Chains A and B, each alone.
Chain A
Amino acid sequence: QQQVKQSPQSLIVQKGGISIINCAYENTAFDYFPWYQQFPGKGPALLIAIRPDVSEKKEGRFTISFNKSAKQFSLHIMDSQPGDSATYFCAASMKSGGSQGNLIFGKGTKLSVKP
């Protein structure tokens, strides 16, 4: 029930295309859903995050779509660029719960954007 399932494991997209990464969770107590971007040999960096009171959040070319009833959320990268090539992690936490904000991570998606 604490798992966050992420798919696909890897993704290849042409430059200018749309990259879509999906995550699913079981625990309905999760109330914070961030996405992290990680380049090889570096620490993850927060990309964008959403709370379940909204169905979509957009920041530049990055959009999170959230479906509370299906317990799914996804990251869309519009106009994908070679510089977006990285590993992306979704995560979930209960900010108001007993785990005190501990993040549960998906296993990651390695995105390659071809020129």
Chain B
Amino acid sequence: DGGITQSPKYLFRKEGQNVTLSCEQNLNHDAMYWYRQDPGQGLRLIYYSQIVNDFQKGDIAEGYSVSREKKESFPLTVTSAQKNPTAFYLCASSYYQDEQFFGPGTRLTVL
């Protein structure tokens, strides 16, 4: 089945820890995106990548980092510098400048 997978579904982080969220797609899409969703705030863009080995900051990149070593994978690391990381994280992918398809999301909670 083609699609976007995110893991884990739920993730718990202690104060001061870095955690990495996985996003994989087998749709052969060029572009991949990370969004953060908070209640009543819509979706806000964290990072995006149009091609392998290249990525750009979105609107709320502080405290996050990404890599794009393979076309299929775009992991997001939530660093200890992110002071309020509890949120629902969504990964998306698309062909260049085409409609975006979203994964099922990862819910991150800080303990």
Question: Residues of A at under 8 Å CB distance from B?
Answer: 6, 9, 34, 36, 41-46, 49, 89, 95-96, 100-103, 105-108
Interface size on B, residues (CB 8 A): 27
Interface of A is mostly: loop
Find out whether the CB atom of B41 lies under 8 angstroms from the CB atom of A100: no
Please give the distance in Å from B104's CB to the nearest CB on chain A.
5
Residues in A neighbouring B55, C-beta threshold 8 A: none
Find out whether the CB atom of A102 lies under 8 angstroms from the CB atom of B58: yes
Please give the distance in Å from B90's CB to the nearest CB on chain A.
5
Find out whether the CB atom of B42 lies under 8 angstroms from the CB atom of A43: no
Question: Residues of B at under 8 Å CB distance from A?
Answer: 4, 6, 31, 33, 40-45, 48, 50, 58, 90, 92, 94, 96-105, 107
State which of A6, A44, A49 has its C-beta within 8 Å of the C-beta of B102.
A44
Find out whether the CB atom of B99 lies under 8 angstroms from the CB atom of A89: no
Find out whether the CB atom of A108 lies under 8 angstroms from the CB atom of B42: yes
Find out whether the CB atom of B99 lies under 8 angstroms from the CB atom of A45: no
Find out whether the CB atom of B42 lies under 8 angstroms from the CB atom of A103: no
Residues in B neighbouring A101, C-beta threshold 8 A: 31, 94, 96-98, 100
Residues in B neighbouring A41, C-beta threshold 8 A: 105, 107
